[in-house]
Copies of this chain bind each other. A is one copy, B any other.
Amino acid sequence: MNESATNETSRTRAPRGQVTDIYRALRDRICLLRYPPGMLLGEHELAEEFTVSRTPVRQALQRLEYDGLTETRNGVGTMVTGVDPNAFRDIYAFRLRLSEMMGEFPAEEEVPRALSTILALQDRLEVLKGQRDMEAFWQLNHELHHATNRLIANLALRETHERYYFQASRIWYSVIEAFFEEQLADLASELNEIAGALRAGDIRAVGYIQRNHIAFGLHRVASAHMAD
């Protein structure tokens, strides 16, 4: 099991060292829902897995807590945070606005790379249609995010865009299973639209496409919660 294959996230201010590796591994596990909300993590246990002492593990966990992905309580452990409905609405509303903003800071030179990434993702999505592989689906979403993130020329916006993507990604937990086919179709058309926009070199359009699909997802989650 090669955990170090954290596919080189868009390093904004490239930090280095094994702490960052652990951080990324845990963050991906949380966002890929292999560590579902409410799960309790032990420092000693993780230290054993990564073959280090508790110290670097603690550092990684503290960064996760700072990101709002976990919550550490003395004498208990570190828990993957759940989904606070209020925070959830805030994050989504904010992400809508961030996506709309993307077009204001276009990184033109990244368009070719992004396009080729998107095309590759389309192929992989085709393969996915037969199965019901959640994790692969998540991975695909992640890579789409990274591809579009690189189209942002503004460092601050890019950081924020990424930050809240990770926070938002866990929210699908409750709806992912119920709406799997719909989301698959949605992602397919999103990829299509983005490919078209990139061929036209229109980064602003990419932002709006992303915004709309975030809104669709928001609607889906909202209706799922109505059903409660």
Indicate which residue in B13, B93, B95, B155 contacts A90 across the interface (CB closer than 8 Å).
B155
The digit string for A5-35, where 1 denotes a CB below 8 A from any CB of B, is 0000000010100000000000000000000
Is residue A104 contacting chain B, with contact meaning CB distance below 8 A? yes
Assembly stoichiometry (copies) = 2
The digit string for A71-110, where 1 denotes a CB below 8 A from any CB of B, is 0000000000000001100110111010001001100000
Which residue on chain B has the smallest CB distance to residue A164? B156
Tell whether, in the assembled complex, residue B155 and residue A13 are in contact, meaning their CB atoms are under 8 Å apart.
no
Is residue A139 contacting chain B, with contact meaning CB distance below 8 A? no
Tell whether, in the assembled complex, residue B164 and residue A86 are in contact, meaning their CB atoms are under 8 Å apart.
no
Is residue A59 contacting chain B, with contact meaning CB distance below 8 A? yes
User: How many whole Å from A78's CB to the nearest CB in chain B?
Assistant: 13
Indicate which residue in B15, B63, B90, B167 contacts A154 across the interface (CB closer than 8 Å).
B90
Which residue on chain B has the smallest CB distance to residue A15? B65
The digit string for A155-188, where 1 denotes a CB below 8 A from any CB of B, is 1110010001001000000000000000000000
Interface residues of A in 84-140 (CB under 8 A from B): 86-87, 90-91, 93-95, 97, 101, 104-105
Given that A93-B105, A101-B97 are contacting pairs, would A155 and B66 also be in contact in the complex, using a CB cutoff of 8 Å?
no
Which of A's residues lie within 8 Å of B, judged by CB?
A: 13, 15, 59, 62-63, 65-66, 68, 86-87, 90-91, 93-95, 97, 101, 104-105, 154-157, 160, 164, 167
Q: What are some 28 contacts across the A-B interface (CB < 8 A)? A: A13-B68, A15-B65, A59-B59, A59-B62, A62-B62, A62-B63, A63-B66, A66-B66, A86-B155, A87-B155, A87-B156, A90-B105, A90-B156, A90-B157, A91-B155, A91-B156, A93-B105, A93-B156, A94-B154, A94-B156, A94-B157, A94-B160, A95-B156, A97-B101, A97-B104, A156-B164, A156-B167, A160-B160
